[in-house]
A and B are shown apart, each in its own frame.
Chain A
Amino acid sequence: MTAKPIRLTFIVILLAFLVTMPLWASRYAVNVGLLVCLYVTLASMWNLLAGYSGMVSLGQQMFIGLGGYTLAVSSMYFGVPVYLSVLFGGFISVFLAVLISVSVFRMKGVYFAIGTWVIAEALGICFSNWGYVKYGMGMFIQPAYKLSMSGVYYAGLILCVSSVALVFLLLRSNLGLALMAIRDDDQASETLGVNIFRCKFICFLLSAFITGLAAGVLYLNAIFIQPFEAFGISWTVNLLFIVIIGGIGTVEGPILGAIIFVLLQQFLSEYVGYNLIIFGGITIGVIFFAPRGLVGTLQMKTGWELFPVRRQ
């Protein structure tokens, strides 16, 4: 265990660095910072499901697409202020999560993964056949032009910090205790009074809400949205990469994973065809040499934790 003052100092320095970034960094660097923030958010939410609640979702893109499209429709068609539209995206995602929970919660393991994926694909097909959102051509998100880069960046930063804080606090709460127990032995946890459905449901909704919000901010930056890209599996594949590299079931893992991912993506953007091969190669390497991910393996060897969640 790392001593508390050291951990706090580290967190404060990191936060100070991130908060002041728009003041001293280049526009390009701020944009990279924004991407890191958003991927930390998305990956933390996928990790909350897969790493802590035993729900390996392959359908997070359904909330990403929905968050993006809600932003586009409500800001373009209804003139709703963009940040309010982003918020709507979160709520619509929760709404969808509630709707599908009845069916996907009956599925376990691989079935849950495939079930969520199929729903996301179906949504993509619906949107590409829907005239209201301009079919497969996609929509512009024009009002986003008027936003300042640092405004969008701070929105991303707030999401990033709150999602990490949320996961951390949630794990320290009684719900976190139940999640750990469910992960170790779900049946035994049930005989001790844990309502598994309720625990998973809460996590699923939280994850949907924040993923929807993050998607909104992501599309503020993208300016253009198309169904097959917005509802595409590659979103979740990226999150999988991030979380596996960083360390599944750790709070810090998605942070490190997202930094590596975004930097690699920038670095490899010139070699379009190769980046998937390289990401795949790195993932296999990490699984082979550090099966718990970089952070997970480090924690096992050194006991170092930035966000300790154990009860004394």
Chain B
Amino acid sequence: MPEILKVNNLSKSFGKVRAVHDLSFKVDQGEILGIIGPNGAGKTTLFNLISGEIKPDAGEVIFNGKDVAITQTFKKCRMGIARTYQIPRPFLNMTILENLLVGSIYGAGKSYKESKKQCVRILEKTGLSAKSGALVGTLPLLDRKRLELAKALATNPVLLLVDEVAGGLTEGEVEEFLRIIHGVRKEGVTVLWVEHIVMAMTKGPDRLLVMNFGRRLFVGRPDEAFNSPDVQKIYLGDED
């Protein structure tokens, strides 16, 4: 399997906080890499660095063989890097369909007509079909989380960054997201998935990257990760 993403010695500090500290790892195409770590470990910052919203202090982000560490966010999206936000950031005064159209037209570069077809398919896949004309302001949390994923999918991603999409949901709802993400991977999309829920992280990813204080603590199969003494140590006394 060819590598789709390679992160080399990536670092980013906010004042004295080393949010991401000399981090390196690789991801193969079509892989689901889970990312776990205590609060403040730097997971979201890592996503911000990969998606381009934050520029690194040092290091490389090699996507498809090219260093994109300082490429503009919208260009990265068009290259195929999509993300979801930990706290959903929908366009509140727009309908669900319009929310998706943005990604499909601008990110995937499709015509209005094609976009609409694609968005209808994604709405079905994410269980939002019935509400496609609703304004987002009226949606409950679960639908906003679905929408967050749907928007990212509308850009036709090669690499999908999922930031705690299942947080705060019931077990059944988490299972639903597991199914959706496995479905997405089947289509060839590579997924980086940050989540605190152990069930999702044991069933979902092929491998786990465990982060602590911005550093890489462990990389390997989920069962190995959860059995590793280092990993157990950082989670002891920590909430979940």
Q: Is the CB of B103 within 8 A of A193?
A: yes
Contacts of A180 in B (CB 8 A): 91, 93-94, 98
From A311, which residue of chain B is reached at the shortest CB distance? Answer: B98
Contact pick for A189, options B91, B93, B112, CB 8 Å: B91
From A310, which residue of chain B is reached at the shortest CB distance? Answer: B95
Q: Which residues of B in the span 59-112 have a Cβ within 8 Å of any Cβ on A?
A: 73-74, 77-78, 82-83, 85, 89-95, 97-99, 101-103, 105-109, 112
* A148 in the interface (beta carbon within 8 A): no
Contacts of A192 in B (CB 8 A): 77, 82, 102-103, 106-107, 151, 154-155
* B53 in the interface (beta carbon within 8 A): yes
Q: Is the CB of A177 within 8 A of B85?
A: no
* A2 in the interface (beta carbon within 8 A): no
Known: A177-B102, A178-B106, A181-B102. A193 touches B77 (CB 8 A): yes
Interface residues on A, range: 20 to 34
* B133 in the interface (beta carbon within 8 A): yes
Interface residues on B, range: 20 to 34
Minimum CB–CB distance for B95 against chain A, Å:
7
Q: Which residues of A in the span 249-274 have a Cβ within 8 Å of any Cβ on B?
A: none
Give Cα A177 to B94, complex, Å: 9
* B51 in the interface (beta carbon within 8 A): yes
Give Cα A5 to B77, complex, Å: 41
Q: Is the CB of B103 within 8 A of A177?
A: no
Q: Is the CB of A190 within 8 A of B74?
A: yes
Q: Which residues of A in the span 190-211 have a Cβ within 8 Å of any Cβ on B?
A: 190-196
Give Cα A195 to B151, complex, Å: 17
Q: Is the CB of A177 within 8 A of B101?
A: yes
Q: Is the CB of A194 within 8 A of B91?
A: no
Known: A188-B89, A192-B77. A311 touches B102 (CB 8 A): no
Known: A177-B105, A190-B74, A192-B102. A184 touches B93 (CB 8 A): yes
Known: A174-B112, A311-B97. A191 touches B91 (CB 8 A): no
Contacts of B108 in A (CB 8 A): 193
Contacts of B103 in A (CB 8 A): 192-193
Using CB atoms and an 8 Å cutoff, list the residues of chain A in contact with chain B: 174, 177-178, 180-181, 183-185, 187-196, 310-312
26 A-B pairs whose Cβ atoms sit less than 8 Å apart in the complex: A177-B98, A177-B105, A180-B93, A180-B94, A181-B91, A181-B94, A184-B90, A185-B89, A187-B53, A188-B90, A191-B52, A191-B74, A191-B83, A192-B82, A192-B102, A192-B103, A192-B106, A192-B107, A192-B151, A193-B74, A193-B107, A194-B102, A195-B106, A310-B98, A311-B98, A312-B133
